[in-house]
Amino acid sequence: MARIFGFRRKSTLALRERKERLLHLLKLSPDSVRASFVERYSACGKRHCSCRQGGQKHGPFYYLTQCLGVGQVNKFMLKISVQKQTAKNVIQRYRQFQALLEELSQLNTELLRREESL
């Protein structure tokens, strides 16, 4: 769900200044990734393991998951700590870019509502 920005209470000049600032900030990092970082615990296949009898499950296991389309998910395990940290960083970069882009979109919508040029 997108954050809603209160642009109706701001002057057109303030909107234009914010737009300039957003355009300056909107630079997509080449190592951005649209994905999720998932932590999972699971039961193994051993019949008498304590994880199957209500005990502690194995894990945590860390995955990077990416929805590519209906029924198409790209998922792989992150095995080393460098992979985990890198995955968190590149996902965060993408989300920051996405948030700035959403703010710009709402700002442009408000300018259109006011019958101002973009």
**pLDDT score at 25:** 94
**pLDDT score at 56:** 87
The β-bridge partners of 58 are: 42
Alpha-carbon distances, residue 40 vs 23, 53, 77, 78, 113 (angstroms): 38, 18, 10, 11, 46
Q: Which residues of the chain have pLDDT under 50?
A: none
